[in-house]
Structure 1
Amino acid sequence: MKFTGTDAYVATEDLTVGVNAAITLERPLLVKGEPGTGKTELAHQVARALDMPLLEWHIKSTTKAQQGLYEYDAVSRLRDSQLGDERVNDVCNYIKKGKLWQAFEAPKRALLLIDEIDKADIEFPNDLLQELDKMEFNVYETGETIRATHRPVVIITSNNEKELPDAFLRRCFFHYIRFPEMETLRAIVKTHFPDIKDRLLTTALTQFYEIRDTQGLKKKPSTSEVLDWLKLLLADDLSPEDLAKDSKDALPKLHGALLKNEQDVALFERLAFLARGQR
């Protein structure tokens, strides 16, 4: 069972090593990187390549670790008891299985994605330590122990918004997805737009990296944003000359796909003004 990338996902050598090492060690793979660098998509492509069912647990600021195991609806049970509903005699009717439970009882080895774990409370990762380590948990309302039939592959993503506890990090295999270099990004683009002309792609990517390298930029455009930008360029049938024309005097063509806040737009407007003043 080895992951080598797919026809829709260009995986660098160090990324494939990280994925396969985590699978071999039977440890969660903790993936960090800039937003838009393909962390979530990695889980989709690993599941596809290894023919695994994918279970996605998208974390929010209000998410609790217990929700990944199960939730007991005591309010509904109380209401049904007041109405004389016979369902109250079986507590299982009021237990909702979480994503970990579903992964544990999957008929074949599954891939569990815990997406953007850093959005949750700081105690959230610690609350999952034993369950991810031992691959079992107790259901206190029924007295049963749920154990993984097949140990799932676990991929955890983080945008680095907050530090994760050391005890949690110790149990993970870590990989940081660096922003791709020009040739890797070119290969990524080709998987999405195989018919794009080389001259247009070279011109667009050169301009894109110049934008990313601009000093003072508040939010650097990501891989997903350059793909959106190129899709617009192709839809408008723009040429390399259209991109290069007046490049020192104006914002990038269709800049709304790349610049996502007013501070960065204002930065490029100031740079354009300074460029005109130097002529």
Structure 2
Amino acid sequence: MSEAAHGASDADRGQGGRGAEGRGWRLFRGDGVPHTVSMPPAPPWRRFKQAGASAPQLPYLIAPQHADVVNAALHLRRPLLVTGPAGTGKSSLAKAVAHELRLGRLLRWSVNSRSSVQDALYQYDAIGRLRETTLSRDRGEGDPGIGRFVRLGPLGTSLVPGSAPRTLLVDEMDKGDVDLPNDLLTVFEEGVFDIPELARLPDGTGPVEVLTADHQGTALVDRGMVHCTEFPVVIITSNGERDFPPAFLRRCIRLDLPVPDEARLRAIVSAHLGDQVLLEVDDLLQAFLRRRAPGELATDQLLNAVFLRAGGVDLDADGLLDAVLHQLTGAG
């Protein structure tokens, strides 16, 4: 194995003590000389699904009183509106609910300024259908089925009837258009939507098989109508950048996640990296708490720092700790 892979050269050990023996710290040297390295194991929260394997599920810690709010939303079949500062685990909560209740793969709708309810329900590729129809007729073949050109979005897929509800994460709703919450009212209240392109098919046309937001998934849509039998578990996150209309809030159960205190931070570190690392992180934890007061910090930034420390990296050298625990607000 190369010296870079071991990261134990004299130069490494002499520059801030970050070349921990056998840990491969200095993978990139910045000297322009190509060299072969062995990538070290990634942090648990940066490990992704491998072919043929399920995605890793990290532990999620939540206070009993906050779990009770989640349960209230589940019993009432209402969307859960989760607010709180960055790094409090709003998005991770949806993954935890889907995993713990065995509700299948999480459906995710990441909202931005261009997001619309229409796209989240379904998309119809009229141009693609026209092109394929023309090609099929030129070959003397029958017209392709319309279902190949209809794909349900994450919201539409969550409303497909099934034996158990699906879990839908509507991430960062406050980044969407101001009318987006109101546009969702009918869908959330009725649990139904129609696809006009399918509703206009001739009488007697049977259910149409359409694509879904699931990987290679399909669903049958009868007479252009999708109507859920179990309202999905909908978890909506917001960073509090703007208020939502009262009509929308009335249909939601609200959960405000606070920033974790010192005891909960220790529990989070232990759950992700093991009890043994707690013996070496008091200074990092105190540094995190001090820096969190004047500016926002996310819990995963603390986990990043602890992971590097556990790998033998000297975070006090050359401003590395400042790079890892950088403020999320007020940056120039």
1:117 corresponds to which residue? 173
1:170 aligns with 2:246: no
CA distance in 1, matches of 2:122, 2:196: 10
CA distance in 2, matches of 1:263, 1:32: 20
User: Any residues of structure 2 matched to 1:170-249 within 5 Å, and which?
Assistant: 170-214=250-294, 217=295, 220-236=296-312
* Among 61, 85, 93, the residue aligned to 2:148: 93
Contact 1:232-1:254 at 8 Å conserved across structures:
no
Q: Deviations over 1:69-101 (max 9, x none)?
A: 111122222333444546756433321111122
CA distance in 2, matches of 1:96, 1:172: 27
Q: Which protein has the bigger helix share?
A: 1
Aligned residues: 247
CA distance in 1, matches of 2:148, 2:319: 57
TM-score, normalized by length of structure 2? 0.67
CA distance in 2, matches of 1:191, 1:211: 23
Deviation at 1:225, TM superposition (A): 1.1
Which has the higher Rg, Structure 1 or Structure 2? 2
Contact 1:80-1:87 at 8 Å conserved across structures:
no
2:112 corresponds to which residue? 60
2:132 corresponds to which residue? 80
Deviation at 1:25, TM superposition (A): 1.1
**Cα separation, partners in 2 of 1:87 and 1:95, compared to 1, 3 Å:** farther
Letter in 2 for 1:104: L
1:161 aligns with 2:236: no
CA distance in 2, matches of 1:202, 1:252: 19
User: Any residues of structure 2 matched to 1:137-156 within 5 Å, and which?
Assistant: 137-143=193-199, 144-156=224-236
Q: Deviations over 1:93-144 (max 9, x none)?
A: 3211111222222442211111111221111121111111111111112223
Percent same amino acid among aligned pairs? 35
CA distance in 2, matches of 1:233, 1:188: 16
User: Any residues of structure 2 matched to 1:7-18 within 5 Å, and which?
Assistant: 8-18=59-69
**Cα separation, partners in 2 of 1:7 and 1:228, compared to 1, 3 Å:** closer
Which consecutive unaligned segments of at least 5 residues does structure 1 have?
1-5, 244-249, 267-279
CA distance in 2, matches of 1:116, 1:99: 15
1:19 aligns with 2:70: yes
1:136 corresponds to which residue? 192
Contact 1:37-1:224 at 8 Å conserved across structures:
no
Which consecutive unaligned segments of at least 5 residues does structure 2 have?
1-56, 200-223
TM-score, normalized by length of structure 1? 0.79
Q: What SS is found at the alignment partner of 2:197?
A: coil
Contact 1:29-1:155 at 8 Å conserved across structures:
yes
Q: What SS is found at the alignment partner of 2:281?
A: helix
Contact 2:192-2:225 at 8 Å conserved across structures:
yes
Contact 2:159-2:226 at 8 Å conserved across structures:
yes
CA distance in 1, matches of 2:86, 2:245: 21
Contact 2:86-2:297 at 8 Å conserved across structures:
no
CA RMSD of aligned residues (A): 2.6
Q: What SS is found at the alignment partner of 1:142?
A: helix
